[in-house]
Amino acid sequence: METKIDEILNQNTFSKADLISLLQTDKETRNKIFTQAAKIKAEYVGKKVYYRGLIEMSNICSKNCYYCGIRLDNKNANRYDISDSEILDAVKFAYESNYGSVVLQAGEISSPTFTKRISNLLKQIKDISNNELGITISLGEQPDEVYQEWFENGAHRYLLRIESSNPDLYYKIHPQNKKHDFETRMACLKSLQKIGYQTGTGVMIGLPFQSYEDLANDLLFMRDFDIDMCGMGPYIEHVDTPLYQYKDLLMPIDDRFTLTLKMIALLRIIMKDINIAAATALQAIDPIGREKAIKVGANIIMPNITPGMYRDNYKLYENKPCTNEEAADCTNCMEIRIGITGDDIGYGEWGDSKHFEKRV
């Protein structure tokens, strides 16, 4: 078994069967995967972590994903929409703190007014920062023209998780209707890639009904799609959502955490030069969860710079960390945190996906 794992880990291509067996490994073998991923990260993207200051603009959403705490039908969610001036204050904070990039994320809203508002914000972010801040957006499914308009206004990275690459599982965690169509999501990802965005996707790990084979297929999907960036994290149940009824089917939360680290490490091994985020959801389970992800292959961290008073309401899942803090607290805390991983921080740098640079 020992030598077999070493052999598998040193291959250039990985079969689905290899990935399934690696995902199921015990503690000792797991550490071999982690060591290999850390080595590959150092060699291909360097021991450096890049910041993306995350602004959770609004928790108003028109969709009803079964897992998410801010879904339309959750009447217990306390809705907010941060004003443009508050958003720009957070942007200034990121710029002054030398973060390099910001991320605008929100529930999914699609309307001409929303499109214009984002376009204006993008232009202002560029203005405020002398064109220096990189901009990632994560605003769900939109028509091609909208993606195009935002790209022209300065967004150059987009995050849209496929959530699961298995359509059957996708429809177990989403309503089966036009607003939650697997093919549309896939088409959106293709459109983002075609327009020229650095394209990021990802999945949730430890969902009810999800198998090791599903996760292995997710890794192969990301490889075959040729993604530039990935953000994936553990599924964390939320009491006010339909998926909560299956909580007894879930693996223990610590196992979901470890499985996420394995997914990150394996993705680093099979896609050596992409950007991989250490998801905030990891920190909801383990106080140093994101730092553990950095040690096994992740190279992006998204410090939350949403104004403190709104944070508590962007509850996609339970136990969301740092909801009672302000952005400045994050900067100090992050620096100490990254320090313990032994990596440097890419202050003031975009830290674009090296994979993207080679792909285009």
Residues in the site for ligand SAH, rule: CB under 6 A?
67-68, 105, 107-108, 138, 140, 160-161, 163, 204, 233, 235-236, 238, 281, 316-317
Please state, in angstroms and rounded to a whole number, the distance separating the CA atoms of residues 287 and 292: 10
Provide the token pair at 142.
């939109």
Is residue 68 close enough to count as binding ligand SF4 by CB under 6 A?
A: yes
Is residue 71 close enough to count as binding ligand SF4 by CB under 6 A?
A: yes
For the purposes of burial, counting CB atoms within 10 Å of the CB of 289, is it exposed (0-12), middle (13-18) or buried (19 or more)? buried
Is residue 279 close enough to count as binding ligand SF4 by CB under 6 A?
A: no
Q: Which stretch binds ligand SF4 (CB under 6 A): 62-70, 213-221, 225-233, 296-304?
A: 62-70
Residue 105 contacts which entry, ligand SAH, ligand SF4, none (Cβ below 5-8 A, type-dependent): ligand SAH
Residue 71 contacts which entry, ligand SF4, ligand SAH, none (Cβ below 5-8 A, type-dependent): ligand SF4
Q: Which of 8, 54, 61, 229 binds ligand SF4 (CB under 6 A)?
A: 61
**Phi and psi, residue 109, nearest 5°:** -130, 135
Instruction: With both helix axes pointing from N to C terminus, report the angle between 2-9 and 27-44 in degrees, rounded to the nearest 10.
Output: 20
Question: Min. distance of Cβ 105 from ligand SF4 in angstroms?
Answer: 9
**Phi and psi, residue 274, nearest 5°:** -85, 170
Is residue 200 close enough to count as binding ligand SF4 by CB under 6 A?
A: no
Residue listed under structure tokens 């998780």: 161
Is residue 206 close enough to count as binding ligand SF4 by CB under 6 A?
A: no
Question: Cβ closer to ligand SF4: 70 or 103?
Answer: 70
Please state, in angstroms and rounded to a whole number, the distance separating the CA atoms of residues 113 and 106: 15
Question: What sections of 82-206 are H helices per DSSP?
Answer: 84-96, 112-128, 144-152, 167-173, 182-195
Q: Which of 23, 49, 65, 229 binds ligand SF4 (CB under 6 A)?
A: 65
Q: Which of 52, 63, 256, 320 binds ligand SF4 (CB under 6 A)?
A: 63
Residue 317 contacts which entry, ligand SF4, ligand SAH, none (Cβ below 5-8 A, type-dependent): ligand SAH
Give one DSSP letter per residue of 139-163, joined into a string: -----HHHHHHHHHTT--EEE---B
Question: Cβ closer to ligand SF4: 57 or 285?
Answer: 57
Q: 3-state DSSP: the chain helix, strand, coil percent, rounded to 5?
A: 50, 15, 40
Residues of this chain that interact with ligand SF4 (CB under 6 A) are 61, 63, 65, 68, 70-71, 107-108, 140, 316
